[in-house]
Amino acid sequence: MQAINLHKRTLGVTLAPNEPATARVWAPEAMEVVIQYDETQTTLQAEEGGYWAAPVPGLTAGGRYKFRLDGKEFPDPASLAQPEGVHGPSQVTDVTHFPWTDGSWKNPALGSYILYELHTGTFTAEGTFAAIAAQLDHLVALGVNAIEIMPVAQFPGSRNWGYDGVFPYAVQDSYGGAEGLQRLVDACHARGIAVVLDVVYNHMGPEGNYLGAYGPYFTDKYQTPWGAALNFDDAWSDAVRRFFIENALMWFRDFHIDALRLDAVHAIKDLGAVHFLRELRGHVDGLMAETGRTHYLIIECDLNDTRFIDPVEARGFGMDSQWIDEFHHALRVTATGEQSAYYSDFSGIAHLAKAYRDAYVYDGQWSEHRKKYFGIPAPANPGEQFIVFTQNHDQVGNRMLGERTSSLVSVEMQKLMAGAVLLSPFLPMLWMGEEWGETAPFQYFVSHTDAELAEAVRQGRKKEFAAFHAEGEAPDPVSEETFNRSKLQWALRNQEPHATMLRFYQTLIGLRKSLPALRTPDRSTVQAEADEEHKLLTLHRQGGGQTAIAFLNFSKESNAAQLPVAEGPWVLRLDSASTDWGGPGGNAVTKGLSGDTVNIQPESFLLYTYDHV
């Protein structure tokens, strides 16, 4: 494993007290590298490994510059700010002297995380970090303790999901830049909220991507769905790995980010002896040992391969947790019956029960959608290593019209699906606005400044959904209207049935946090049985001297079930069909004994607990 400085960023232009700025850039194939700023230029000196560096006495915070490689000028690949956009000069930015007030902050135990994914540009009307901070009271009252922010790396224009970022170190200027993000993190910590940042280490966006001009950041050995693969195992790959590892360390060290969510790590192509993720794990562990702070590495991965989340000592990559789409797919099929595309692999409630028991639905069986045997079992991986949800940015935004669950199912089914997630032995994640049943779509949007590229994206989106012409035209991703249509409607919180839905989520999250049987993501005691004929799922969990049982009725008819043998009375904790939550009401037993029959209303769930004697 290569030696990387844990204490400070070494790439780009860095500042140090009582010393001139230092410029360092990797350009192994260049013959001459010059930094151009104001009317001044400084020639950099070659260093080992293809790096070029030099002190730059006249360059201070706020100064703008570009590197010139063999006569051609480009922004700094490790730029911290791009105030004139992705094609403009880079700006010297000091991220090491922010006046933090979170000295007593401790990152919550991962197993206690209740996540809330949001997109900065559409979470509020203003679309800024400051506007997120202004809504923290809402998140605290909701009960979440970790926000997951979609990527903020600088992208073209001001409208983008974030996965087209091209400057991994630069915080999007229209969101509030580096200082704006630091202020948000500090404010979150003051309110007891951890911050997870989504980062993209598997590809770069198409516009403003100048990495290839500097050196072999990409390899022809592999391809990704989004273009050329980054070079993690080919010639010169050590410097590419260092570029992204230093980036991760910067977020933790200089921005006090609590966890990173690494996008689509299955597209990080690395057949080297030490996988990039494992090397990243080692350096993050080193940083934590020095600072005493705790940081988590969360991944998106669709390979159903425990190697990614197994500990390093077990020859794994050591990632702390992963998004688990299969739970979502099984839940969606159970709730809606939809079985197109990748949903075709999921049978519904039987697979949902398996997801509760085994985390991976496919753990070695034949996958008809993939046309191969897929996955391996994950019996030894704790519940906190799996993150589940009813929806997220992908599952909403990759639909042609960007419909949320609230537009696809009834209010009663929305509550049932929320229960399915928050009663699970995994880490729950909400998608912004679902807590009040937001009706605005979340659609795909970009603001490329290259007209040809913008038109290519527009046509590509139309082609992708050509078979869905009966549902209308795919929204224009380049239109500002598409972006504005995707913003949350905060006023809905105070209108019915949204206000009641919000109270329901607050209550459900409160039970998740307070009931001993639910608050620890312990998979060892989980039992889940599916009655396919009646679309009824029974979920058992235990912990802290308490047993919980939930009856989840996904059918449009009422169902009956019996309370199992217990040492004491079963206490009703929540009936989603209650009139308290805008439901039709029912006759659920509030205190029941072993063998008592309970009635579960259509598209609803009952939650009971008993305390062990």
Which positions are catalytic? 263, 300
Give the Cα separation of 11 and 250 in Å (integer). 11
Q: Find, among 283, 288, 301, the residue nearest to 257 by Cα.
A: 288
How deeply is 45 buried, as exposed, middle or buried, from its count of CB atoms within 10 A (0-12, 13-18, 19+)?
exposed
Buried b (16+ CB within 10 A) or exposed e, 157-190: bebbbbbbbbbbbbbbbbbbbbebbbbbbbbbbe
Give the Cα separation of 61 and 191 in Å (integer). 31
3-class secondary-structure state, position 473:
coil
- Asked whether 482 and 157 are in contact (CB, 8 A), the reply is no
**CA angle at residue 234 from 230 to 237, to 5 degrees?**
65
Q: Find, among 510, 342, 512, the residue nearest to 421 by Cα.
A: 512
| Both tokens assigned to 195 | 């911050």
Give the Cα separation of 201 and 240 in Å (integer). 10
Percent helix, percent strand, percent coil in the chain, to nearest 5:
30, 25, 45
- Asked whether 234 and 216 are in contact (CB, 8 A), the reply is yes
- Asked whether 125 and 135 are in contact (CB, 8 A), the reply is no
Q: Count how many Cα atoms sit within 13 Å of the Cα of residue 230 in the half-sphere of its side chain.
A: 24
Give 383-405 as a DSSP string: GGGEEE-S--HHHHHTSTT---G
Q: Find, among 548, 554, 552, 567, the residue nearest to 608 by Cα.
A: 548
Q: Find, among 161, 117, 123, 139, the residue nearest to 427 by Cα.
A: 117
The DSSP call for residue 316 is S
Give the Cα separation of 418 and 389 in Å (integer). 8
Amino acid at 65: Y
What is the 3 state secondary structure string of 235-249? CCHHHHHHHHHHHHH
Q: Find, among 246, 201, 248, 244, the residue nearest to 226 by Cα.
A: 201
Element (H, E) at 296: strand 296-300
Residue with token string 């380049």: 478
Contact residues for 211 (Cβ-Cβ < 8 A; gap 6+): 77, 166, 204, 217, 218
